[in-house]
Every structure is written in structure tokens, then in C-alpha cells.
Amino acid sequence: MYVALQAGACGFLLKDVTPEHLIDAVRLVKSGDANLAPSITRRLVERYAARPVRPSQRSDLETLTDRESEVLRWMARGLGNQEIAEKLFVSEATVKTHVAHILKLGAGNRVQAVIAAYESGMVPLGS
């Protein structure tokens, strides 16, 4: 799973997923979000949060605006674009613009951006 996510996978489901959840997950990933089985999210975060922070990674994240940082923190909590938009009282299109800028910092997808947020300490483990 870790290798697949590093290679750019946008999600991971367990083999006991229901057909309905599988369909929802495909739709979610197609819309630009990521989907991880809740039971593996904590293990994923713990593994990547324990890794040392690369100086370039920290400086890249420091270039984010306050709003982009806030979007990234909500992403790290597992929220999709529409949910983030509702939390921040902005349009989903605005959130998508922020996500696009975050991804331009070198993350291949949302999962990798969230991993970078945890690795850098921007999002503390357990939050």
C-alpha cells in the first residue's frame, strides 16, 4: 500500500468493501479527492509522520497562503472539496483552486500532499 501511494495511487480500499462503497470511492477519486479505508489511515499517518522532514519540503509548504494551509489541514482530516468549502464558507471552485496550488508544490495527488503536511509537522499526528 505504501509503495502504491508513493507511486501516485489516490486511494486504498480493503477487500471486504461493499459494492456501494466501491462505487462511491471510484466517484470520489474521479472528482479529484482521495479515498483511504479508515482502518488503515492511522497506520499510514504514523508511518509517514515518523519520517524525518526534508528541508525543501518544509520550505515548500511555508510558501502556502494561510487559506491554502487551512485547506491542507482540512484535507489531512479527510474532508473532500465540498466539505472543506462548507467549513470555510467558500465555493467548491475556490477550494479546488487552493488544492491545485497545493499540488503544484510537488505532490502528485491529495494523499501525497497530506503525507507531506504530516511529515513537515504542519499537521500534528493525532489531529
Q: What is the per-residue pLDDT for 90?
A: 96
Task: For residue 97, give the CATH number of its domain.
Answer: 1.10.10.10
Q: Which of 23-27, 29-33, 98-102, 114-118 has the highest mean pLDDT?
A: 98-102
Instruction: Give domain status of residue 112, yes or no.
Output: yes
The count of structural domains within the chain is: 1
pLDDT at residue 89 in the model:
96
- Domain of 7, in residue numbers: 2-120
For the stretch 55-107, pLDDT in tens is 555 567 888 999 999 999 998 888 889 999 999 999 999 999 999 999 888 77
Contacts of residue 124, defined as CB under 8 A and 6 or more positions apart, other chains included, come to none
What pTM did the predictor assign?
Answer: 0.62
125 belongs to a structural domain: no
